Structure 1
Amino acid sequence: MSWSAEWLLSVGLLLPLTAPAQTRITSTRPAMGTPWQISCYTTDTLLAHRAIDSAFARIEAVEQSMSDYRPDSEIRTVSRLPSRQFHLVSADLYRVLTFSRELHRYSQGAFDVTIGQLTKRWRRAIRQQVFPTEVTQGARPQVQGITYRLHPTRGLWLAHDSLHFDLGGVAKGYALDVAGEVLGSFGIHCFLIDGGGDLLLGDAPPDRDGWTIALPDGHLDTANVAIASSGPSYRYLLHDGLRYSHLLDPRTGVGVTHSETVTVFAPTGMLADGLASALSVRIASRVQLMKHYPRMNYIVTPSYQPSPEGAP
C-alpha cells in the first residue's frame, strides 16, 4: 500500500460516520370491521413494506380465527362442534380463551366471552331501537358459571351445544400484539399500530421522547405500551329515559348505562383491551380488580376515543 493510500485510509477512519436517515412508512387497511394503520421508522423501506404486509396478514389470521361475524371463522366453527368433549383449537384461540377465563374469574363475571347470544340480540335491538325483553328470559342463564374448559394440549370443552362466543373485548388487542411481534421479527422496533383507536406502541420515533397520543386533557408522549379504551359509543338504545350501550354487562344481560370511558395502559394489547372492557362494566370495584394486574394503569373520563394525532 502506498503512503498516500495509507494516509487516505487513516483519514477515512477518523471521519465521523453519519447514520442513515430513517424514513417513516405508513399503511392503512381495513381489518376487524375498522380501519387499521401501521407506521414505522426504518432505513430499509422495502423491508418495512414486507414487514407491514406480514403484520396485516397476521391480523387477518386472527380475525379469521375469532370473528363472530364470519360464519366460517374458527370460533364459529368450534361453537357448532359436539359439546362435552375436547376439540383441538389453534394456538391463537387457546391463548385468548386462557386469558379470558382468568379475567372472567378476577372480574367476578364482568368480563365473559360466552355472551354471543346476548350480543346478537342487542345488536338487533339497537338497530330496531326496541328493548330486548327476551334477554333475561333466554340468553342470560347460558352465560353464567363455567361454560367451557381448556386442556393443556390446546383442547376446548364446551358445556352445551348452544354456546356462542363473542371475543370482541379481547381479540383486537391480541391482534395488536401479534402484529407487533411480526414487525419485531423483521428487526423493526420503532412502530405504532392503530387498530381502530386501540394502540400498540414500540420504541420512540427518532429524536423524540415517544409517540404523541391525543388524550382528553392534552397530549402524551409515550412508547413501548399498549393503550385501549372501552365505554359507551354511538351505538346505543334509548328506553324509558335510559341510554343502553352496546357494551353489555354479562351479569345482568343488558347494556351499561353510564357515560364513562375507561382507558388502560398495559404491557400488551390483549391485557389493555380485556381490562378496558372489564373495568367499563365493573364500576364499583375497579380498584379490587386492578390488584390482580399491578403493572397496569387506567384513567376514567367522559366518553372519548384516544388517537395518535400529532404523532411524528
Structure 2
Amino acid sequence: MKLAPIQRAPKWQLYGLSFKAMGSPCDIKVWSDSSEQADRALLSARSEIDRLEQKYTRYKESSLTSQINRMAGRGQPISIDTETYQLLCYADEAYRLSDGLFDITSGVLRRGWDFRRGMVPGRQQLDSLRQLIGWTKVEFNEQHIILPETGMEIDFGGYVKEYAADAAANVCFQSGIISAIVNLGGDIRVVGPQPDGSGWP
C-alpha cells in the first residue's frame, strides 16, 4: 500500500493513515523523509492495533478475553502471557487508586439493560448482577488467571485502546519515526514535536 504525503516541509513529508478499529475512527500521522519508512511505520502500527483488538476484544469468541470469561466458575486457570499480566497489574493499580471505582469486572451490569427494547433492570436483577462484580475476587499471577464465580467476566475495554495508542506510537518510533501522532478515537499519543518544533494540533 502506498500512502500519499498530505503535507510537506523541507526534506520531510507528512503521511497519514485513517481507518476504523476498536469501535472508533482512528488516524495515524508520521513525518518522514522516506515514503518507504512512512509506509512501514504506518502499516506496522495498524497491524499492532489490530493484534491488540483481536486479542482483548470481548466481541470475538476467539479472543483471550472471551476464553477467560468462558471459564469463569470452573476453577480452571487460563494461561496468560507477560503482556496480559501487565495489563491485569494496571487494572489492579487503577482499582486501588480509584478506591474500587475502576473495576474491570463491572461490565456484567450491561446484561441488565436492553436499549433496543427499552428495558431497564429491576432491583432484584441488579442485586444479582452485583454479586458477580469484584476485582478482589480475581486470582492471577504471571502465568494464569482464574475467575472464581460462574457468570463473572473481565473487560479490558476501559483502557486497552489507550494501551494500543501507546503501542502503536512505540512501533512508529522503532521504525525510525521521530515525529508522529496516533489518535484512536480520542485516545492520543505523540512521538516528539513536529519537524519545525511546534506541537501537534
Opposite residue 55 of structure 2, the aligned amino acid is: S
Q: Provide the residue aligned with 2:83 in structure 1.
A: 92
1:105 corresponds to 2:96: yes
Structure (1 or 2) with the greater helix fraction: 2
SS in 2 for 1:168: helix
Mapped partners of 1:96, 1:145: distance in 2:
14
Aligned-residue Cα RMSD (Å) equals 1.9
Query: 1:14-35 deviations in whole A, cap 9, x for unaligned?
Result: xxxxx96110000001111111
Larger Rg: 1
Does the C-alpha gap of structure 1 residues 206 and 112 become closer, same or farther in structure 2, counting only changes over 3 Å? same
Aligned counterpart, 1:276: none
Residues 1:128 and 1:90: Cα distance change in structure 2 (over 3 Å): farther
Counterparts of 1:195 and 1:117, CA distance in 2? 25
The correspondence for 2:140, drawn from 147, 150, 165, is 150
Please tell me whether residue 137 in structure 1 is matched to residue 136 in structure 2. no
Normalized per residue, the structure richer in strand is 1
How many Å separate the matches in 1 of 2:125 and 2:190? 39
Quick check: 1:127 aligned with 2:116? yes
Equivalent position of 1:37 in the other structure: 27
Quote the offset at 1:191 in angstroms: 0.6
Among 159, 183, 186, the alignment partner of 1:197 is 186
CA shift in 2, pair 1:184/1:141, >3 Å? same
Could you say if the C-alpha distance between residues 165 and 130 of structure 1 is closer, same or farther in structure 2, counting changes exceeding 3 Å?
A: same
Task: Output the CA distance in 2 between the equivalents of 1:97 and 1:193.
Answer: 24
Q: Percent identity?
A: 28
* CA 145–180 in structure 1, closer or farther in 2 if over 3 Å, else same: closer
**Offset of 1:121 from its aligned partner?**
3.2
The amino acid of 2:141's aligned partner reads H
Q: How does 1:1-312 map to 2 (within 5 A)?
A: 21-81=11-71, 83-122=74-113, 124=114, 126-133=115-122, 134-144=124-134, 146-152=136-142, 154-212=143-201
Residue 85 (structure 1) shift = 4.0
Cα distance in 1 between the residues matched to 2:111 and 2:16: 35
Runs (5+) with no aligned partner, structure 1: 1-18, 213-312
Structure 1 residue 90, shift from structure 2 partner: 3.1
Q: Which amino acid aligns with 1:103?
A: A
- Listed one character per residue, the Cα deviations across residues 190-236 of structure 1 (whole Å, up to 9, x for unaligned) are 11101011111111111132101xxxxxxxxxxxxxxxxxxxxxxxx
Give the aligned length. Answer: 191
**Alpha-carbon distance in 2 for matches of 1:211, 1:106:** 30
Whole-Å separation in 2 of the counterparts to 1:39 and 1:151? 37
Question: 1:107-141, CA deviations, whole angstroms, 9 ceiling, x for partnerless residues?
Answer: 1110011123213434x2x3333322254222112
Q: Which structure carries more relative contact order (alpha carbon 8 Å, separation 6+)?
A: 2
TM-score of the superposed pair, with normalisation by structure 2: 0.87
Give the Cα separation in 2 of the matches to 1:135 and 1:61. Answer: 36
